[in-house]
Amino acid sequence: MRYLALAMNLDGTLATGGRADEAALAALSRLRHTGRRVILVTSRRLADLTSVFSSLELFDCVVAENGALLYWPARRESTALCRPVPESFVRAMLQRGVTPLVRGQAVVYAPRAQAGAFVEAVGELGLELQVIFAGERVLAVPPGINKGEGLREALLSLGMSVHEVVSLGAGANDHSLLDVSECAVAVANALPALKERAAFTTRGAAGAGVVELVEELVQHDLRTDGVWTPQDSLTLGYGPSGERVGIPAYGENLLVVGPRGDEGASYVQGFLERLLQRRYQPCVIDCIGDFEPRDDMVKLGDRLHVPRVSQVMAALTAPAVKPVVSLAALAPEAQPGFFRELLPALEGMRLRTGRPHWLIVNGAQRLWPAGARDALRDAPKLGETLLRVEDPGAVARPILEQMDVAVGVGPAPARALQQLAGAIEETALHLPLSAGAEHAVLAWFIAEGRWPLRLRAPPRRAERLRRVPEQVEGDLGALGFTFRGRRGRTSPRAHNLRAFCRLAAQVDDDTWLFHLWNGDFSRWLRDVLHDDALARKVAAIECRYELPASDSRREVCGAITHHYALAA
């Protein structure tokens, strides 16, 4: 299964007018029977939920008080995630005659009309509190607390990550809930701003929308054409025109083929870097012993010590741990046996939690050698797996046939892909035997039947740091950014990022907003400067249409300055 949990708001989603939708509750029961988790995320107090539900045991976890409290119905245990709003604030509200004033374990509630009194008291008392709206109520919430952060804590306790979660919301305080999920959904009656944030909107409102989403999850795991197509992907490289080419983060396998050397290792390390930037959990199986683990990875085993399967699984229990499992101390003929013991444990963990998100196997020919007598019988079903091999002919054909995309690396990537075509008995590829440019690779989309495409490999962080002076203070020439505006009037070209920030302060608001709302800034950073991380930060600002031109200028230029200050 792709999605293992559904997290949803209560009012306006699962309940209307204080009453839970019975059809929606029945749908959630069916969803749980598939093995998926159901998490309720609400701004209400835990005590208030008894009037809505006869029992909370339908939910694996309840995130209450706008993210301040976790409740586990099966254990009947609750955990506060913050200190309560100070008593001084409550006294100030009572002195102002605010009524009815309701206290939760951490949050204070009042009618929406009392929002002005809440804001005044926060300012007068010098408190660090958030004042937010939830339907007809206003809430005083401790700093850093919201539905999204509460959901993060619930997922951590469940051993899951945001990549396995679908979230469903309707109200103004559901933005953070939708942010903490791989697929964000809004019901038909949701606020327009929330619908803009969502990946898609259900046809039905409130409970009907819940039923509709559950049916799509149960029947199709949200893979039905037209329901939702993930826009984000893992970058493989950049095409001739600078366009980004990638693969889905879920559901495909990648083969990196070519001679051992710096180029192949660098490409795999770059792919790993992009996984970690997206907060996926990889597990590296190093059959050869030459994989260089990053500083933030944990190495299990070495040339003298064989890791235990229990060690690997214990390390993977924490979503933040990225293990490199070295099999260098095992003889090549013994490595398949170790992996046959490890694989069922990994598959079981993936079924429960969705992790590890990707397997990276360095030297896959040792696990599945082509000449092995039991290659057909022992070939596992792979998913979200990267295999690094030198000679594809040395790998069992049932494994090669599961690869959706192959990337040829090294001085002659076409020759490597031709060897692969011969190994799986595909039509020979008539291509030049060299990549023809520095850092160029060839990507063959086997499952789609597309001919190999020449790509420029994305730069790794170390290479980006070397390029900082050119992008920040050098002369990018024709690659610079030109402010043209709605009327096409050309302003001076920003020949580097420092000049971009200077010109950004000078162009008129209409020109600035024209480029901002068209996504031109993030597109330039991503497709021309090949800086995905900075492009994502700027793209998030481009979507905030409510920002005045002056504020968006400050945020975009601040993101650029902060990004490269960190890199330096």
Average pLDDT for 502-514: 88
- Provide the pLDDT confidence category of residue 375 given band limits of 50, 70 and 90: low
For residue 47, how far is the Cα from the chain centroid? 34
Choose the final residue of a domain: 230, 259, 292.
230
Segment 220-274, tens digit of pLDDT: 998 875 565 555 589 998 887 778 889 988 989 999 999 887 788 889 999 999 9
Percent of the chain past pLDDT 70, that is, above it, reads 91
Same domain, 53 and 109: no
Alpha-carbon distance values, 310 to 229, 300, 306, 327, 378 (Å): 37, 11, 12, 15, 22
Average pLDDT over residues 486-500: 76
- 408 and 310 in a common domain: yes
Averaged confidence pLDDT in the chain: 89
335 and 409, same domain (yes or no):
yes
Indicate which CATH number applies to the domain containing 104: 3.90.1070.10
CATH code at 172?
Answer: 3.40.50.1000
Shared-domain flag, residues 259 and 321: yes
Do 143 and 128 contact (CB within 8 A), yes or no? Answer: yes
Quote the domain boundaries for residue 421. 234-456
Residues 6+ apart with CB under 8 A from 143: 128, 129, 130
What total of structural domains would you count in the chain? 4
Regarding whether 498 and 427 lie in a shared domain, the answer is: no
DSSP secondary structure string for all residues of 101-163: -EE-SS-EEEEGGGHHHHHHHHHHHT---EEEEETTEEEEE-TT--HHHHHHHHHHHHT--GG
On whether both 263 and 370 belong to a single domain, the answer is yes
pLDDT grade for 566, boundaries at 50, 70 and 90: very low
Rounded-to-integer distance, Cα 444 and Cα 406, Å: 5
pLDDT of amino acid 213: 97
335: confidence class by pLDDT, cuts 50, 70, 90: very high
124 & 47 share domain: no
Mean local confidence (pLDDT), 12-20: 92
DSSP codes of every residue in 405-471: EEEE-SS-HHHHHHHHHHHTTPPPP---SS--STTEEEEEETTTTPPPEEEEPPPPHHHHHHHHHHH
List, for residues 441-491, the tens digit of each pLDDT value: 899 999 888 778 889 888 776 555 555 566 777 788 878 898 886 665 666
- For residue 567, pLDDT over 60 is answered with no
How sure is the predictor about 429, in pLDDT bands with cuts at 50, 70 and 90?
A: low
DSSP code string of 215-237: HHHHHHTT-STTT------EEEE
pLDDT (tens digit per residue) in 145-167? 999 999 999 999 999 999 999 99
Domain boundary among 230, 258, 275: 230
Distances (CA, A) of 227 to 19, 221, 251: 28, 10, 17
| Domain-terminating residue out of 456, 472, 505 | 456
Q: What is the pLDDT of residues 380-395, one digit of tens each?
A: 899 999 999 999 999 9
Q: How confident is the model at residue 431 (pLDDT cuts 50, 70, 90)?
A: low
pLDDT at position 427 over 70: no
Tell me, yes or no, whether 180 and 292 share the same domain.
no
Residue with tokens 């260098």: 328
Claim to verify: residue 266 and residue 306 sit in the same structural domain: yes
Same domain, 486 and 542: yes
Residues 417 and 482 in one domain: no
Same domain for 448 and 480? no
- For 181-208, what is each residue's pLDDT tens digit? 999 999 999 999 999 989 999 999 999 9
